[in-house]
Amino acid sequence: MGTRKIILQEAGGLSYQHEKYHVPIIHTDIRTSNILLDRELQQKIANFGLIRLLPEDMTHLSTKFSGTLNSGYVAPEYAIYGQLFEKVDTYSFGVVVLEIISGKRYKDVDYQLVTQNLLDHARDLHESGAHLNLMDEKLDPSEYAVEHVVEIIKIALMCTQPPSTRPTTSEVEWEGLIELMGTESRAIGGLEFLHKG
């Protein structure tokens, strides 16, 4: 239950930041090193040094990018154009989920192509239908049904799509992960990406 719990809590934490305050809180630096775990594997989102508050009357901010451009966690629209909105954190969440499932860092270079990163590798495996080749061998096989691993990888990849097709973290949390974890879902409407083949 540990890995699934961490993924679900991360989606819930981001959803809370984005939607439960009078203005959305955008973290801008979601990465595995900023997810802290206690003894019970309760996750805490850390390092709020780069957060931005999105004013109520705005859907996004145009701002100067601050962070490490080549880290792999940064959404392209933020890194290139300075466009900052909640889905920037969703992109980073997708990369974090791929790292958790694979047990690899974004820039590990033991893939077939030296220039390939984890996201490109995951996309290649998705396109060839070899999703399970991404799964960390150290993960407890009794923790996941095969179809759940595939769906979690698909959700992570959807989180790294262009902003127009990228889900919000609340959509990921309620429609995707809670359903996959076997917990009762508080559905707000179907998400097509969960059912694509």
Catalytic residue numbers read 29
What is the DSSP track for 121-181? HHHHHHHHT-GGGGS-TTS-GGG--HHHHHHHHHHHHHHTS-TTTPPPHHHIIIIIIHHHT
* Total H helices, total E strands in the chain: 7, 6
Give the containing element (helix H, strand E) for 132: none
The three-state secondary structure class of 191 is: coil
How far is 147 from 16, CA to CA, in rounded Å? Answer: 28
Kindly report the number of other CB atoms within 10 A of residue 196's CB atom: 8
* Neighbouring residues of 139: CB distance < 8 A, sequence distance ≥ 6: 3, 101, 103
Q: Which two tokens stand for residue 113?
A: 């192509």
Q: What is the largest CA-CA distance in the chain?
A: 47
